[in-house]
Amino acid sequence: MRRNRKARAGVDKTLYALRNPVERCVRRLKNSRRVATRYDKTVESFLGFVDVACIRLWTQRSVNRT
């Protein structure tokens, strides 16, 4: 919001704090080209691949890389 705006709208700070992790998750999901360009024609197959991409991200973060 700009400083010179006449009527200032209130911002819910707790909701705004949750925005950053959600945006980072979406960015990581869009690293998968198939999700970013949506090659799948049906909703079911697209959401299935989003699930696969989420599982891939989760396993990469949970595996000990030492």
| pLDDT bracket for residue 9 (50, 70, 90) | confident
What size, in residues, is the chain? 66
Q: Which of 32, 60, 62 is nearest to 46 (CA)?
A: 32
CB 15 within 8 A of CB 40: no
**Is pLDDT at 17 greater than 70 in this prediction?**
yes
CB 40 within 8 A of CB 34: yes
SS3 13: helix
pTM passes above 0.85: no
Q: What is the residue whose two structure tokens read 């819910």?
A: 12
Express each pLDDT in 45-61 by its tens digit.
888 988 998 898 888 88
| pLDDT bracket for residue 62 (50, 70, 90) | confident
